[in-house]
């Protein structure tokens, strides 16, 4: 089912349709996001700021809002929100993106404060540069940044989507039953050296 996460009515619709079909929601990977143009903040337009916030932060809040309601009503569930290295440290060229990804950290921790007692587990992942289509497109537009990024990673390579998927699967399932409100970095040591 397709939905634009920046439109609350479309998020509510996919949640409602999922519950109609499956009865409840056990796991939710709140992952949609965009990187933005990579321009310095003073060169970015208000339209771009609104777009990044609308998808990365409001979109994640809408998903969390409607899915948590279903989970709490049905005895609990597990959510993984996607933050970023830029959600745990400051980075240039991604000021708005970084603001939204720091917001994901607040969403994660505070949801736990309110609803862990109702069986909700909410964690966040903070990937470093990972070779997905988004990053490939970003580095094609900003080639000098790819060399910089790899140089700054202690493991000297980007992460893979498969490595991130393993972490998300672990966090979602009962193997991580007592892990709640954490932000797990998966970045080859990148933020550890900052
Ligand atoms: N790749 C990285 O290096 C990296 C690092 C840290 C965090 N992240 C985060 O990981 C998540 C996934 O990014 P990715 O690298 O796989 O990028 P991607 O562009 O390959 O995938 C992003 C996905 O989000 C979807 N999406 C975008 N806008 C949407 C909208 N309005 N409604 C619904 N879906 C929408 C796209 O269709 C796509 O499937 C994002 O939140 C991103 O910020 C990525």
Angle between helix 8-22 and 59-73 (nearest 10): 30
| Catalytic residue positions, numbered | 97
What's the CA-to-centroid distance between 117 and ligand 1, angstroms? Answer: 30
82, containing H or E segment = strand 77-82
Residues 6+ away with beta carbon under 8 Å from 98: 84, 86, 87, 90, 91
- Contact 126/186 with Cβ under 8 angstroms? yes
pLDDT value of residue 47: 98
Q: Is the pLDDT of residue 88 over 80?
A: yes
What tens digit of pLDDT does each residue of 71-87 get? 999 999 999 999 999 99
Token pair recorded at residue 114: 């309110």
Ligand 1 atom nearest the C-alpha of 97 is 43
Q: Is the pLDDT of residue 134 over 80?
A: no
What's the CA-to-centroid distance between 46 and ligand 1, angstroms? Answer: 21
Q: Phi/psi at 105 (nearest 5 deg)?
A: -65, -45
Look up the pTM and report it: 0.96
Q: Whose CA is nearest to atom 41 of ligand 1?
A: 33
Domain limits, the chain: 8-193
pLDDT value of residue 147: 85
Q: Cα(156)–Cα(72) distance, rounded to whole angstroms?
A: 42
Please give all residues whose beta carbon lies within 6 A of any atom in ligand 1, as ranges.
4-6, 31-34, 55, 59, 82, 84, 127, 129-130, 132-135
pLDDT value of residue 142: 80
Burial 51-86 (b: 16+ CB within 10 A, else e): ebbbbbbbbbbbbbebbbebbbeeebbbbbbbbbbb
Token pair recorded at residue 122: 């909410």
Among 31-40, 80-89, 145-154, the range with the most confident prediction by mean pLDDT is: 80-89
CATH number of 8-193: 3.40.50.720
Probe target for ligand 1 pocket from 34, 101, 141, 187, with the most ligand atoms within 8 Å of CB: 34
pLDDT value of residue 145: 79
In the chain, pLDDT over 70 holds for what percent of residues? 100
Q: Is the pLDDT of residue 163 over 80?
A: yes
DSSP symbol at 130: B
What's the CA-to-centroid distance between 4 and ligand 1, angstroms? Answer: 12
What tens digit of pLDDT does each residue of 164-188 get? 999 999 999 999 999 999 999 999 9
Residues 6+ away with beta carbon under 8 Å from 26: 71, 77, 78
pLDDT value of residue 81: 99
């Amino acid at each position: 089912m397709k939905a634009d996460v920046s439109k609350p009515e479309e998020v509510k619709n996919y949640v409602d349709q999922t519950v109609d079909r499956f009865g409840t929601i056990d796991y939710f990977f709140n992952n949609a996001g965009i990187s933005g143009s990579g321009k310095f903040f003073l060169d970015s337009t208000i339209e771009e700021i609104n777009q990044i916030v609308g998808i990365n932060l409001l979109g994640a809040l809408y998903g969390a809002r409607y899915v948590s309601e279903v989970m709490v009503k049905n005895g609990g569930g597990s959510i993984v929100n996607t933050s970023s290295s830029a959600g745990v440290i400051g980075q240039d060229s991604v000021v708005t993106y970084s603001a939204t990804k720091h917001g994901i950290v607040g969403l994660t921790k505070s949801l736990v404060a309110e609803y862990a007692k109702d069986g909700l587990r909410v964690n966040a992942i903070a990937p470093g540069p990972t070779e997905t289509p988004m990053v490939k497109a970003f580095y094609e537009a900003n080639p000098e940044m790819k060399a910089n990024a790899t140089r700054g990673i202690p493991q000297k390579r980007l992460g893979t989507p498969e490595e991130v998927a393993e972490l998300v699967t672990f966090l979602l399932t009962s193997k991580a039953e007592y892990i709640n409100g954490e932000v797990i970095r998966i970045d080859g040591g990148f933020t550890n050296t900052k």
